[in-house]
Structure 1
Amino acid sequence: MFWALNDNKASAKRLRAALLAALDRPFTRTRIGEIPDGDSDEAFQVREEAAARLLKGRRAPKRDFDGTLREYAAEAGCDLPHSPFSIPNMYHQALLEPGARMMVGGTDHVSFDEILDSWEIAWPHHAVNIEALRAFYRDAELAGADAMAQSPMAGGIAGLRRAVEDADDPALCAAVRTCTKASGTLTELLKRAIHEPVILTRLMNHAMWDQWVRTGGVLVDGHAGEAAVALSTVQFLIVPGWAEDLERYLAFMETLLLVQRTDAAFTGQ
């Protein structure tokens, strides 16, 4: 964050290196070298082996952040809002294998049928939604379009790295500043939600809860937090409309935080 604040050539260079290191860490840790592209059988096999190494020893948590909140809220008798299109657990075991293969080889390495098959396991009570998605992808394919190319994972780790490498210094620093500020504001509101549960309800009644909060909006200490910032930065830079959505969510959170502070001042808390 300090390198992003300075917004000069030297600090941006260090920021870029830190973001790339965070993205590369799973590959560095498992000693995965250069990943070949192309359609040859040999290149495909190397990518498959790399994906298997990424998954070695990894187990998905039973619940993601969203699921953990809902469990505790239910115990307290609080019914939280729920998007009909959200997957119950973003880190379901069934999603790890296609996720690792996409990280290695991009969406070209995993068919949409394979992805939707894994969603059927992770999202068992939404067959209608999944079939609608399946029809959408097939119609796009018949029309000669690649719907999966819109995913930030379309190019795999190489695409994520390219987004960081190709961004100019001001844009990169601005993306990190906004993503980090949004996470800090979210963290403050979540702390206040312990005593004011309505805050949580309002935060969850927004598309960015599923698109951002559940998948890295809440920063944790250590490497996982660094990876979350890096992935949010990539989405900010390359996903159409994502930056504007996050900025609107940040403005909403700042307003909500201001209201809470004003109320606290009037009540003497």
Structure 2
Amino acid sequence: AQALAKFGDQVVALLGGHLGDPASAIDVRRAIPPILASIGTPAAAHALLDNLLERDTTVRFQIISALNKIHQFHPEIELDTQLLETVLAAEIMGHYRSYQILESLRIPGNSDEPVMRALGESIPQELERIFRLLGLLYPHLDLHSVYFGLQSSDVTVYDNALEFLENVLRSQLRGMLVPLLDGKVSPKERAGIAERLVRAKVENREQAVAELVASDDPWLKSCGAYAIGTLGMKSLEAELNRCLEHPDPLLRETARTAKLRLEALAANS
């Protein structure tokens, strides 16, 4: 498969097409992001970014990891930070949702139930995706060390890592992320936060974006509005129109840009 990488940008459109095609075999789709990372051009990075809201978490992890690799070796390639924030918001909400489900399934004295085990295993994977996205948004920070510090059983190392994050993240993101990482916040408390943030079970990409744009949080709403425009989700245009009347100026501007993009996509189709 890596032999394809030698063809460079000539094969990017083909690879990107297969990566974004749910009808392609899942093993094929999972193998594509590392090839795009090896190509390492702006076109390869954009093909990965176009598929960042991929529903399959294993494919999404490969996409995020490939972007990490491109960013590491080619920091001059600009990435769409607002799209990265959108995916980060969706990942954080998904992480809260896991605690919500975990709490609702919890049976005293029975942690062996298969669903509980699967959720228990998915939580560290979700956290790794969150940190890899943070690494793309904050490339100047040593978030790799912070990530490992938060896994540490050494209280001082753990506290220092958490404090570092609290100091560097902007307030909206800090308020959402720190309760997921702070060991003093119980799973039950996280489930309580999830109930405020997450309103319904999300089955697909469109629902995930609808969930974001329906949130009470302006940052999450902005992420959702941006995704509607970028992904050409005409079915969510009514939600986008509501964002145009929102008191938050950043959200209004994001919604206005998304609306123009939606109209341009409709005109070209």
Q: Tell me the TM-score normalized by structure 1.
A: 0.27
Higher RCO structure (Cα 8 Å, ≥6 apart): 1
Q: Tell me the TM-score normalized by structure 2.
A: 0.27
Which is higher, the Rg of structure 1 or of structure 2?
1
